[in-house]
């Protein structure tokens, strides 16, 4: 099967620091891939490069066969790649509904539908898509509450709903389990698996190793910007280079 996203020799330099150093990998349609590495390994920078928030120093990213280098984040999102952020980007003084409809508007503004249907029909379609995403994450009943009133755990789902409202083919999750307790993390793991089971390709950055190893079919490991492993969880767990990167000792 041809790749959904192909990352080819991607590099990002910040002054003298190579935050992402010549990284190549690919994700197939419907795959669930983990991205792990010690603090400062370059995981978020790699996500920022893929989603257009940071321009690469060199290298290419192709999404659905098309080079996306130079496109703005909303243009990339409109092509079917949406993401969440390590630090939640919620508008606390807007309603839950409005927070999610931002995603629906963003996606539809890019589509032929947005151009063809103006006014009322377009806003009906945005409302429908927003409720569909809220339903998906179990937030329909809170649609008209302020986002600020949601618990931290629910706000994580709000952010995922906004990304889902864009009807992505690839969902990028940046540390979705950070700050969640064990039972919330287990619920999130089930939810991510369900989304993936429906055919959505997912890239997941996560420090919770059990979560990553438990649900991902493949795990990419970065250390100091370089890719040091790209294999099934069991193989990655046993890889001496990975143990050394995490523990700082030669295995």
Q: Enumerate binding residues for ligand ATP (CB under 6 A).
A: 14, 17, 19, 37, 39-45
- For residue 181, the minimal CB distance to ligand ATP (Å) is 20
Angle separating helix axes 96-109 and 119-137, nearest 10 degrees: 120
Choice between 57 and 123, CB closer to ligand ATP? 57
- For residue 37, the minimal CB distance to ligand ATP (Å) is 5
Choice between 104 and 222, CB closer to ligand ATP? 222
Alpha carbons 22 and 77: distance in angstroms, whole number:
24
Choice between 5 and 147, CB closer to ligand ATP? 5
C-beta of residue 163 within 8 angstroms of C-beta of residue 171: yes
Structure tokens at 160: 């995922």
- For residue 39, the minimal CB distance to ligand ATP (Å) is 4
- For residue 38, the minimal CB distance to ligand ATP (Å) is 7
- For residue 158, the minimal CB distance to ligand ATP (Å) is 21
Choice between 178 and 243, CB closer to ligand ATP? 178
Choice between 167 and 226, CB closer to ligand ATP? 226
């Amino acid at each position: 099967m041809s790749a959904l996203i192909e990352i080819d020799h991607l590099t990002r330099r910040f002054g003298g620091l190579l935050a992402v150093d010549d990284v190549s990998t690919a994700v197939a349609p419907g795959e669930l891939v983990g991205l792990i590495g010690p603090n400062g390994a370059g995981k978020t920078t790699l996500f920022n490069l893929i989603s257009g928030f940071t321009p690469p120093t060199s290298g290419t990213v192709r999404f659905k066969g098309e080079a996306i280098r130079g496109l703005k984040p909303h243009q990339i999102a409109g092509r079917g790649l949406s993401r969440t952020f390590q630090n939640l980007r919620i508008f606390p003084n807007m309603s839950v509904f409005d927070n999610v409809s931002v995603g629906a508007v963003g996606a539809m503004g890019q589509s032929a539908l947005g151009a063809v249907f103006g006014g009322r029909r377009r806003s009906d379609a945005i409302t429908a898509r927003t409720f569909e995403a809220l339903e998906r994450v179990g937030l329909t009943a809170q649609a008209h509450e302020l986002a600020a009133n949601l618990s931290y755990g629910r706000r994580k789902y709000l952010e995922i709903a906004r990304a889902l409202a864009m009807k992505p083919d690839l969902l990028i999750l940046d540390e979705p389990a950070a700050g969640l307790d064990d039972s919330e993390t287990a619920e999130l793991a089930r939810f991510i698996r369900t989304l993936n089971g429906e055919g959505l390709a997912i890239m997941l950055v996560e420090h919770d190793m059990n979560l990553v190893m438990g649900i991902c079919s493949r795990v990419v490991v970065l250390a100091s910007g370089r890719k040091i492993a790209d294999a099934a969880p069991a193989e990655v767990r046993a890889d001496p280079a990975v143990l050394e990167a995490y523990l700082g000792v030669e295995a």
